[in-house]
Amino acid sequence: MKTPSLSDALIPIVSLIIMMGGSVYLFGDNSSFGPNQIALLLGVGISAIIGLKNGYTWASIEKNIVKGISMSLGACLILLAVGALIGTWMLAGTVPTLIYYGLALLNPSFFYAAACLICAVVAMSIGSSWTTAATVGVALMGVSTGMDMSPAITAGAVISGAYFGDKISPLSETTNLAPAVAGTNLFEHIKYMLWTTIPSFVIALILFLIIGLTENGAESAQRIAEMQSLLAESFNLGVHLLIPLFVLLTLAVRKMPAFPAVFIGAILGAIWAALFQIDVVYSLSENDSKDAISALIVIWTALFDGVSFSTPDENLNSLLSRGGMSSMLNTIWLIICAMAFGAVLEGTGLLNRIVSTILKGANSAGAMVTRTILTCIGTNAVTADQYMAIVMPGRMYKEEFEKRGLDQLNLSRSLEDGGTLTSPLIPWNTCGAYMHGVLSVHPFEYFVYTFFNLINPIMAVIYAYVGIKILRITPPKLKTS
């Protein structure tokens, strides 16, 4: 098999960029509902043709595609469970209760900053940005609707907080993965990350506070009162309806795998709907019957197809009428196509060819950190998976950091700064697709408001070039022939 040339490696990337740009131009907000998937599959075809030209067999290419898709199946199962959870928690009144109390407690002037901080605390406690977004994040999106505030800014605040907490939590998978790949200690890795993470998060909170000061409190107060009244009329609200949330968070803290934990939360929501919202359940029955079979059909439907409410407020209807496993199928379709594209690039050596070119001339700490972060971002875009964006650059650059006399903590921190944080900013990445599916805001809309995710990689590069908290090995461990 022939080593691919740089032009070989760039053709699929440039083609995909052009096709994705055309998809967004032609279809706008609907580009993720089919057009992007077609662009990715065409990218798979272009990459496969180049692989065949270089001596790879179709059997080996197909094997890599299957392997790449199989890596995303865990995320797909979690997405299905989250869809079921949203459906039953809407029906059970869990999310409406969170929205009701959130409207009572949060002031529009500091709402964005508070949303960011709340998600940060929850994610740090449970170690999962995904679970935080699917639970507290969904509720905060509802609160923002009640206050007539920007869904894009709210999504940016939710993601900023969720990824801050996820990044520094010892319970997080990515926080454990990065030091494992780089060969560093978990708690030293977290301590070293704080130098770039804390300042970035503080700046993000300040920006959210500044934006919040521009909100009109009088108009929001009237809107809040109307939304609370409609929620109280539509559901039997109460603190007891938050028990499914507390159970899910407890399971997450105890490190139960995400799929069974979220699905248990969904089933608990279904039980709560039958126990505490039976009138709401009967109102959604198509045959107007008030019997056990009719209730079972509505609750079962909530698990696979969500719920659809009809209140006098269209915004409230749009907010509450969602969920179900079917709502996640398009996101799963996008993930599968993206993982197939990344798998072909990696399996045919095209991705490695690009990385080797990037490393040329990187001799200083600033250059190495910058290239690592850029490689992580590129891997997030190409392979569509944040784990790949940590593992691949980590494997490729570990020896290079050592040869240049840089401690591996510089590498593990850079892998998180570039790999973990940029994953939700790319629409076809598993994280970007997930956040779109859960928060119902497209990554292109919330991108500019994910202040923490944008600032942290920049902060890391500045630190590296200025020489702030750059650990070195003395003397450098040079490779011997």
Is a pLDDT exceeding 80 seen at residue 4? yes
pLDDT computed for residue 131 by the predictor: 84
**Biggest alpha carbon–alpha carbon distance for the chain:** 81
pLDDT computed for residue 385 by the predictor: 79
* Six-digit token string for 146: 């009640």
Candidate ranges 52-61, 243-252, 312-321; pick with highest mean pLDDT = 52-61
| Average confidence (pLDDT) over 243-247 | 91
| Average confidence (pLDDT) over 397-417 | 89
Q: How confident is the model at residue 480 (pLDDT cuts 50, 70, 90)?
A: very low
Which of these ranges, 321-325, 396-400, 422-426, 468-472, has the smallest mean pLDDT?
Answer: 396-400
b/e map 223-248, b = 16+ CB within 10 Å: bbebbbebbeebbebeeebbebbeeb
- Summarised one tens digit per residue, pLDDT across range 354-364 is 777 777 766 78
- Summarised one tens digit per residue, pLDDT across range 72-114 is 788 788 889 888 998 999 999 998 888 888 877 788 888 999 9
Is a pLDDT exceeding 80 seen at residue 224? no
| Average confidence (pLDDT) over 391-401 | 82
Q: How confident is the model at residue 481 (pLDDT cuts 50, 70, 90)?
A: very low
* Six-digit token string for 296: 């079972």
- Summarised one tens digit per residue, pLDDT across range 294-310 is 999 999 999 999 998 88
Where exactly are the structural domains of the chain?
74-327
pLDDT computed for residue 309 by the predictor: 86
pLDDT computed for residue 211 by the predictor: 94
Q: How confident is the model at residue 478 (pLDDT cuts 50, 70, 90)?
A: very low
Is a pLDDT exceeding 80 seen at residue 403? yes
Which are the contacts of 166, defined by CB distance < 8 A and separation ≥ 6? Answer: 123, 124, 127, 128, 129, 132, 172, 174, 175, 420
Which of these ranges, 33-37, 249-253, 356-360, 400-404, has the smallest mean pLDDT?
Answer: 356-360
Of the candidates 374, 403, 394, the one whose C-alpha atom is nearest the C-alpha of residue 480 is 403
| Average confidence (pLDDT) over 213-238 | 78
| Average confidence (pLDDT) over 165-187 | 86
- φ and ψ at residue 406, rounded to 5 degrees: -105, 130
* Six-digit token string for 88: 């039953």
How many Cα atoms are found within 13 Å in the side-chain-facing hemisphere of 375?
Answer: 29
Candidate ranges 30-39, 267-276, 338-347; pick with highest mean pLDDT = 267-276
Candidate ranges 166-180, 204-218, 257-271; pick with highest mean pLDDT = 257-271
pLDDT computed for residue 342 by the predictor: 82
Q: Are 468 and 176 in contact (CB under 8 A)?
A: no
Question: Rounded to whole angstroms, how far apart are CA atoms 38 and 2?
Answer: 29
pLDDT computed for residue 439 by the predictor: 92
Q: Are 381 and 426 in contact (CB under 8 A)?
A: yes
Question: Rounded to whole angstroms, how far apart are CA atoms 35 and 460?
Answer: 35
Mean pLDDT for the chain? 87
| Average confidence (pLDDT) over 67-75 | 83
Which are the contacts of 281, defined by CB distance < 8 A and separation ≥ 6? Answer: 91, 273, 274, 295, 298, 299
The DSSP string of 376-427 is HHHHHHHH--HHHHHHHHHHHHHHHHHHTTB-HHHHHHHHIIIIITTGGGST
pLDDT computed for residue 377 by the predictor: 92
Is a pLDDT exceeding 90 seen at residue 262? no
The DSSP string of 69-108 is HHHTHHHHHHHHHHHHHHHHHHHHTHHHHHHHHHHHH--G
Question: Rounded to whole angstroms, how far apart are CA atoms 376 and 181?
Answer: 13
